[in-house]
Amino acid sequence: MSFETIEVRRALLSVADKENLVPFARFLSQGGVEILSTGGTASLLASQGIRVVAIEDVTGFPEILGGRVKTLHPKIHGGLLARRDLPEHQKELEAHGIAPIDLIVVNLYPFSETIARPGVALEEAIEQIDIGGVTLIRAAAKNYASVAVATSPERYGEIQDEMRTSGGKISLATRRRLAVEAFQHTAEYDAIIASFLETRLAQAEGEWPRVRVSSYRLGYPLRYGENPHQKAAFYQELAPGVVGLAQAKVHQGKELSFNNLYDLDAALTILRDFAEPTACIIKHTNPCGLASAETLAEAYAKALDCDPVSAFGSIIGVNRVVDLETAEKIHTTGFVEAILAPGYASGVLEMFAAKKNRRVLELPGMMRREGYPARVIKPLAGGILVQEADDADWPDYEPKVVSRRSPTAEEEKALRFAFKAAKHVKSNAIVLVQGTQTVGVGAGQMSRVDSSRLAIQKAGKRAKGSA
């Protein structure tokens, strides 16, 4: 049985993230709520003149093992897990001198922040795996019928407002919502720990884990999905060290769409394969132009020259800081949905601001390989496909010459570029290049013959002598 409202008479506060805690605790205390607390949280509240009862005074047992064991005690968990609608539970509480706990405010040791630090020792990470906090949260969330649980400072104000207007009570609807958030919080926490330990402990190279866990947090809802009738949202991966679109700074422009993000990710994936100054122009996740050159401006001009018609309404990605010369060429291209670069020289953003709807993104660490997904996931009905990321380069395939003559140095350079470019074109994929510039791209046709015809058509006279 669930109670429509519960009156908060007794609360347990034990947090790693102490943001906004003091005002909330003061509100509870002034409302006559007895506050139980642990360690650093208790010390903080006491220093602010808020009356607290130490956990050890409730349990009659001190914190032990350097703080590893604080709240794991029947006098705490009995007060959380007892069903208020069962007389036998209430009798057991009375028999053992256990008082109910109506609200817990708990968040967890900063494991994610710890493992994000370069060179963090395994032992240090292990010590940041919270045990008592997770147990408290799960106990309170399980018994949401009688207990409220807050795991985020963002919820303190909402709870405070509700208690103020209801005479110190919290509704069932709020408790249900908080319980869902609580289980999401612990699931996210465990997923990050499992992923970290999978890479640091006995996972053999090439071995597939028996259980795959991932954790994502809502970044922001999107106006719609791939089509206007589809709802969509962007979720951010929570694994530490990830460098992707979630970390990009958006300087200007309209709200990013589902298709914008898909194309921007395609640009990011392509650019990470090229060390030279490189520009790519993306339409529907395929490059309609790709080029490398001595300067970024030259690379962009060559990429645009591949297929300027398809470049209308495209995504532009570059792997160097956009200088004024390159910016001038981009600015006069026509309709461009978005631009992605590791940075922008002085004056460039001011130039781009003249076209206020154009989205301009900056991702400083976009070219480093660390943080790039080692495995690629494809969802299926009832499961997922997982494969290693395609990081193969020309030498990995040990190419053999089967023609009558070997390619010249220039021809081999062009073939290497074409090899990288074709990797990012949807199959059937045919790519024609001159040097380090695509001149014709045939993408996504059911027949290789049709893809070849399309690439040759796009290339025109440039097809002759291309690789």
CATH of the domain at 148: 3.40.50.1380
Residue 451's DSSP bridge partners are none
Beta bridge partners of 386: 377
349 located within any domain: yes
Examine the fold and report which residue of 321, 343, 362 is the final residue of a domain before the chain moves on.
362
pLDDT of residue 370: 67
* CA-closest candidate to residue 140, choices 203, 186, 198, 191: 186
Rounded Cα distance between 14 and 132, Å, is: 10
Does 211 reside within a domain? no
Among candidate residues 148, 182, 201, the one where a domain is terminated = 201
* Residue 275 phi, psi dihedral angles, 5° rounding: -85, -30
- Give domain status of residue 386, yes or no: no
Single-letter code of the amino acid located at 201: L
* Distance from C-alpha of 7 to C-alpha of 98, rounded to nearest angstrom: 18
Pair (303, 408) in one structural domain: no
Query: Is the residue at 265 inside a domain?
Result: yes
Same domain for 191 and 315: no
The reply to whether 16 and 81 lie within a common domain is yes
Q: What is the pLDDT along the chain (467 residues), one digit of tens a residue?
A: 567 888 899 999 999 888 889 999 999 999 999 999 988 899 999 999 999 998 888 888 777 787 787 778 888 888 899 888 888 888 888 888 888 999 999 988 788 778 878 888 888 888 888 888 899 999 999 999 999 999 999 999 999 999 999 999 999 999 999 999 999 999 988 888 888 887 777 655 557 777 777 788 888 899 899 999 999 999 988 776 777 888 899 999 999 999 999 999 999 999 999 999 999 999 999 999 999 999 999 999 999 999 999 999 999 999 999 999 999 999 988 899 999 999 999 999 999 999 999 999 999 988 876 666 777 888 889 998 988 888 877 666 777 888 888 888 898 898 889 989 999 999 999 999 999 999 999 998 999 999 999 888 998 899 888 88
DSSP 4-39: SEEE--EEEEE-S--TTHHHHHHHHHHTT-EEEE-H
Claim to verify: residue 343 and residue 398 sit in the same structural domain:
no
pLDDT attached to residue 339: 96
pLDDT at residue 189, as a whole number: 87
284, 154: one domain: no
Q: Decide if 142 is catalytic.
A: yes
| Residue 168 CA, distance from chain mean position | 37
Distance CA 333, CA 326 (A): 11
**Token representation of residue 8:** 């908060």
Do residue 55 and residue 190 come from a single domain?
yes
My answer on whether 357 and 402 are in the same domain is: no
Which residue among 18, 89, 284, 423 is the active-site one? Answer: 284
Instruction: Report the pLDDT value the prediction gives residue 169, as an integer from 0 to 100.
Output: 92
Q: Which tokens hold the place of 129? A: 């795996």
CATH number at residue 419: 3.40.140.20
Residues 180 and 40 in one domain: yes
**Structural domain tally of the chain?**
3
Question: What integer pLDDT is reported at residue 206 of this predicted model?
Answer: 58
What's the whole-model pTM score?
0.76
Q: Is residue 368 part of a domain?
A: no
Phi, psi of 334 (to 5 degrees): 120, -150
Residue with tokens 């607290």: 52
Per-residue pLDDT, 391 = 80
- Say whether both 313 and 404 belong to one domain: no
Please report whether residue 220 resides in a domain. Answer: no
Which strand (E) or helix (H) includes residue 376? strand 375-380
Residues 170 and 256 both lie in one domain: no
pLDDT of amino acid 267: 95
Pairwise CA distance, residues 226 & 94, whole Å:
59
CA distances to 79, 161, 215, 384 from 188, rounded to whole Å, are 26, 28, 5, 19
Q: Which of 168, 183, 201 is the C-terminal boundary of a domain? A: 201
CB neighbour burial string for 117-150, b if at least 16 within 10 angstroms, e if fewer: eeebeeeebeebbbebbbbbbbbbbebbbbbbbb
Residue at 413 is within a domain: yes
Specify whether 274 is located in the same domain as 348: yes
Is 284 designated active site?
yes
Residue 275 lies in a domain: yes
- Structural domain harbouring 419: 392-463
Report yes or no: 271 and 243 within 8 Å, Cβ to Cβ: no
Instruction: Copy the structure tokens of residue 361.
Output: 């993104």
For the chain, give the longest Cα–Cα distance. Answer: 94
- Which value, to the nearest 10 degrees, does the dihedral of the CA atoms of residues 20, 23, 25, 26 take? 170
Residues 315 and 453 in one domain: no
Return phi, psi of residue 9, to 5°.
Answer: -110, -25
